[in-house]
Amino acid sequence: MIRITALMDNRSSENKMLINEHGLSYLIESTTARLLFDCGGSGHTLDNAHRLGLSLKDLDGVVLSHSHYDHAAGYRDLVEAGLGSTVLYTGPGFFEKKFAFDGVRYTDLSAGFDESFLTEHGITREETAGLKKIADGIWLVSGFPRQYDFETIPGRFVRQTAEGFMTDDFGDEQCIVLEQEDHLVVLVGCSHPGILNMVSEVRRQFGKPVQAVYGGTHLVEADHDRVEKTLAILRSLGMETCGFSHCSGDSAEEIACGHTEITTCHLAVGDSIFLS
Ligand SMILES: [Fe+2]
């Protein structure tokens, strides 16, 4: 049995004592490991865990999907509050500064901590390059070939490199794969490289259908045609269940709800999924 609980999401749930804000954090509890996937953007993630009676003191690791503040900035608060885990899993290039650029201004979207913060707190960072096993049946995948041209990254997302600012390719993004006997469950943070590019690479790596996807699918800016096309291709990759969170977009979620062959839900703050 694996329990996945949303400790942070944009939406409130029926538990009105929890704080919802722009961001994502999932606690994954399996028989082999307790992992935190993303931390939201603030210490409210910890407040929500406390309110739900879920300890973050005995984690086996923390996985950050990418370095944007709404997924990674809460990590600093959790560590300073005495987070148990001393292992942090990130993708490559995690500490490059990330900005939103509107043609004049740059808004810093980075995680708000650096390597020295990790050293100061005795934390080991492990980088995912391709495929990495982190517990029995739990994998990380990074490095997503761009197979679907229509999954474009908005030009406003830029990264600062030694050569100057360039369009962000989100090379730091990674996802979690929960490997079941004959299918896969994929957890995504924000899907900046494109949800199809990510899911199709997972499917290729494992050779098993991706039966369920949970998380931020970043269809918030996708038009109707792209959403329909995305859902059709996800179906062809094996998807039967889609649990939306965070940046999936109300309209995309509404369109998916209209597809009777797909089971959908929104994982709002405090909501859990139990996988047998
Ligand atoms: Fe995000």
13-40 tens-digit pLDDT: 999 999 999 999 999 999 999 999 999 9
- CA of residue 195 to ligand 1 center, whole Å: 13
Nearest-CA neighbor of 63 among 31, 93, 26? 26
Q: Please compute, for residue 222, the number of CA atoms within 13 A of its CA located in the half-sphere on the CB side.
A: 30
User: What does the pLDDT read at residue 273?
Assistant: 97
- CA of residue 181 to ligand 1 center, whole Å: 30
Average pLDDT of every residue of the chain: 97
Q: Which domains does the chain have, with CATH numbers?
A: 2-275 (3.60.15.10)
- CA of residue 150 to ligand 1 center, whole Å: 20
Partners of 245 in the β-ladder:
216
User: What does the pLDDT read at residue 52?
Assistant: 98
Cα 109 to Cα 99: distance, rounded to the nearest angstrom? 5
- CA of residue 169 to ligand 1 center, whole Å: 15
Percent of the chain with pLDDT over 90: 98
What one-letter code names the amino acid at 188? Answer: V
- CA of residue 223 to ligand 1 center, whole Å: 19
pLDDT score of 276 more than 90: no
Instruction: Taking residues 47-76, report their average pLDDT.
Output: 97
User: What does the pLDDT read at residue 61?
Assistant: 97
> Diameter of the chain by CA atoms?
51
Which protein residues have a CB closer than 5 Å to ligand 1 (ion)? 70, 190, 247
Query: Quick one: pLDDT band at residue 84, thresholds 50, 70, 90?
Result: confident
Is the Cβ–Cβ distance between 40 and 77 less than 8 Å? no
pLDDT, one tens digit per residue, over 120-170 is: 999 999 999 999 999 999 999 999 999 999 999 999 999 999 999 999 999
Q: How far is CA 193 from CA 115, 148, 176, 217, 266, in A?
A: 24, 10, 15, 10, 21
Asked whether the CA dihedral 172, 208, 252, 7 is positive or negative, the reply is negative
Q: Where are the beta strands (DSSP E) in the chain?
A: 2-8, 25-29, 34-37, 61-63, 87-90, 97-101, 106-108, 124-127, 131-135, 138-142, 157-161, 164-167, 174-179, 184-188, 210-216, 241-245, 263-266, 272-275
Instruction: Taking residues 227-240, report their average pLDDT.
Output: 97
Cα 99 to Cα 79: distance, rounded to the nearest angstrom? 24
pLDDT score of 255 more than 90: yes
Query: Quick one: pLDDT band at residue 195, thresholds 50, 70, 90?
Result: very high
Is the Cβ–Cβ distance between 65 and 175 less than 8 Å? yes
User: What does the pLDDT read at residue 165?
Assistant: 97
Asked whether the CA dihedral 9, 145, 151, 202 is positive or negative, the reply is negative
- CA of residue 217 to ligand 1 center, whole Å: 9
Cα 43 to Cα 148: distance, rounded to the nearest angstrom? 36
Query: Quick one: pLDDT band at residue 85, thresholds 50, 70, 90?
Result: confident
Nearest-CA neighbor of 264 among 195, 210, 213, 202? 213
User: What does the pLDDT read at residue 186?
Assistant: 98
Query: Quick one: pLDDT band at residue 177, thresholds 50, 70, 90?
Result: very high
- CA of residue 151 to ligand 1 center, whole Å: 16
Residue 153 DSSP class: P
- CA of residue 218 to ligand 1 center, whole Å: 8
- CA of residue 145 to ligand 1 center, whole Å: 20
Q: Please compute, for residue 208, the number of CA atoms within 13 A of its CA located in the half-sphere on the CB side.
A: 14
- CA of residue 206 to ligand 1 center, whole Å: 26
pTM summary value: 0.97
